Amino acid sequence: MKVVVANSHVGMQATELLKYDGQEIIISGAVHKVRKLGALLFIVIRTGKSLIQCTLVLQHLSIPAETYQEGNYVTITGICHKEENAPNGAEIELKSIKVLSQPAVKLPFSIGGRNLGINLDTNLDYRPISLRHIKQRAIFSIQSSIVQLFLEGLGAIDFVKIHTPKLVFAGAEGGANVFKVDYFDRVMFLAQSPQFYKQMMVGVFGKVMEVGPVFRAESHETSRHLNEYTSMDIEMGPIDSFEDIMDVETYILNYIFDRLPSLCPSELEVLKVNVPKVGDIPVMKMAQVLEIVSKEHKVRDSGDLDAKSEQIISQYVYDNTGSEFLFVTHYPTAKRPMYAMEDPIDPTVTLSFDLLFRGLEVTTGGQRIHNYEMQVEKMKRLGYNPVNFSSYLQIHRYGMPPHGGFGLGLERLTMQLLGLGSIKEASLFPRTISRIFP
Ligand code: AMO
């Protein structure tokens, strides 16, 4: 009989077990859950990818209870059998268990149940442990697949992956929400976005993409803001118009959501995820959106959509087109950063867009200024000293194509896809004003 070694590092899928029907198999993992049913003991082993059910007839084999207590890391040996009633159609009849390590104390809560059954604060306080729960882990397996597909889909149309600095000389997005960092004898900032650098790299590669951390010194805690999040960015040129950017975003969202079900079927199933059909995404100008929203909601700031406005317009679009996405275009110039290209027909608005998904903004994008004089003039108009931006302005000075890009918030996309109540649930170790541990 062949002995197969599979451990949690290899990450064997429970479904793969079927291949070893009748054979002896060795698996390493954590004792996830233990259940006694008469003379039968069920021990579920958690590997990096799945749960594997093992059975033991207590009379046949005496194993001390401390060997299989929840939280132990073990190596088990047993015979693999097809078993229709087992979670993945196969189970292992145990012959022996070897303990690799034991926890110092009992787990603070059980992670073997169907639901975690603890509140969000406890979940986040005990993150290294709570993330081991199957539903928590599924969130981040899905998130990992989203990133994989984002890079794969854009790579297939010649986007080059770049890695830009997160310690930067200036905040790119304007506003006060930028963190200062002591940097030897001077001050630097944590990047609010890869904005300046991705623009610079258009002059090098034409089409670039990055998935990386960005930092926002938001002083309020809301269900949709983090102080550190993951931005999925693209930048490209030459372009004909900012609509080229919306076309790329439409392409990549179709690419991701078409392929997600085959990449992580069990995780989508365990979280009962409704994966959207993207198709063509409807487009509306900001002015049009405000007109519709103001019929049922008092919009206080005509330059941006508050949470309620985003929900109202998303519902309106869903009712009229069936789409769960909406591009809102032509945001006011006064509300967009200094690099935003103004509409030559009406300079009070920019050639920019936001994407709403199920009632929440998940992306901002648009065309950028590529002309040197135009960029310098706009900086001065907004009160920035162009001298402080001379390294960025090299691209305008020495020649840039018409270009643009977008930034898609990974945690917001995950939150909306999975219907999570808070963005914190979509971040492994969320950073907010009140949360810095673990
Ligand atoms: P913006 O600042 O709109 O644009 O950010 C882009 C997207 O990032 C997400 N996001 C956040 N997610 C979690 N917590 C936050 N505090 C937070 N702030 C923003 C949202 C948002 O749509 N440089 C531009 C993008 C571009 O034009 O290329 C930018 O960063 O999903």
Which residue lies with its CA nearest to atom 24 of ligand 1? 407
Write the pLDDT tens digit of every residue in 239-269.
999 999 999 999 999 999 999 999 999 999 9
The CA-CA-CA angle for residues 302, 331, 387, to 5°, reads 115
Q: pLDDT value at position 9?
A: 39
What's the rounded Cα separation, in Å, for the pair 343 and 287?
14
Which residue lies with its CA nearest to atom 15 of ligand 1? 225
In the reported structure, the alpha carbon of residue 31 is separated from the centroid of ligand 1 by a whole-number distance in angstroms of 40
Region 146-175: mean pLDDT is 96
Q: pLDDT value at position 300?
A: 81
Mutate to test the pocket of ligand 1, among 177, 412, 414 (most ligand atoms within 8 A of CB): 412
3-state secondary structure of 323: coil
Could you give the count of Cα atoms lying within 13 Å of 112 in the half-sphere of its Cβ? 20
Strands 3-7 and 40-46: unpaired
In the reported structure, the alpha carbon of residue 348 is separated from the centroid of ligand 1 by a whole-number distance in angstroms of 22
Which residue lies with its CA nearest to atom 27 of ligand 1? 365
Q: Which atom of ligand 1 is nearest to the CA of 366?
A: 27
Identify whether the C-beta of residue 28 lies closer than 8 Å to the C-beta of residue 73.
Answer: yes
Write the pLDDT tens digit of every residue in 104-128.
999 999 999 999 999 999 999 999 9
Smallest Cα–Cα separation from 318: which of 288, 293, 282, 285?
A: 282
Which CA distances in Å does 315 have to 128, 179, 275, 394, 412? Answer: 37, 36, 17, 44, 18
pLDDT at 14 > cutoff 90: no
In the reported structure, the alpha carbon of residue 408 is separated from the centroid of ligand 1 by a whole-number distance in angstroms of 7
Mutate to test the pocket of ligand 1, among 146, 154, 177, 193 (most ligand atoms within 8 A of CB): 193
Helices (H) and strands (E) in the chain, counts: 11, 17
What's the rounded Cα separation, in Å, for the pair 150 and 277?
16
What's the mean per-residue pLDDT of the chain? 94
DSSP state of 405: E
In the reported structure, the alpha carbon of residue 170 is separated from the centroid of ligand 1 by a whole-number distance in angstroms of 17
Q: Which atom of ligand 1 is nearest to the CA of 423?
A: 13
Backbone angles phi, psi at 200, to 5 degrees: -55, -40
In the reported structure, the alpha carbon of residue 235 is separated from the centroid of ligand 1 by a whole-number distance in angstroms of 14
DSSP state of 435: B
Q: pLDDT value at position 207?
A: 98
Which residue type, as a one-letter code, is found at position 241?
Answer: S
pLDDT category, 1, cuts 50, 70, 90? very low
- Quick one: CA dihedral 135, 141, 147, 152, positive or negative? negative
Which CA distances in Å does 98 have to 103, 129, 419? Answer: 15, 22, 41
Residue with tokens 């010194």: 217
Residues with CB under 6 Å of ligand 1 are 173, 193, 195, 216, 218, 225-226, 229, 231, 233, 361-366, 405-407, 409, 411-412, 423
Q: pLDDT value at position 194?
A: 98
3-state secondary structure of 60: coil
Q: pLDDT value at position 5?
A: 54
pLDDT at 7 > cutoff 50: no
Mutate to test the pocket of ligand 1, among 159, 211, 226, 229 (most ligand atoms within 8 A of CB): 229
In the reported structure, the alpha carbon of residue 322 is separated from the centroid of ligand 1 by a whole-number distance in angstroms of 26
Q: Which atom of ligand 1 is nearest to the CA of 229?
A: 13
Q: Which atom of ligand 1 is nearest to the CA of 172?
A: 23
pLDDT at 57 > cutoff 50: yes
Q: pLDDT value at position 3?
A: 53
In the reported structure, the alpha carbon of residue 320 is separated from the centroid of ligand 1 by a whole-number distance in angstroms of 27
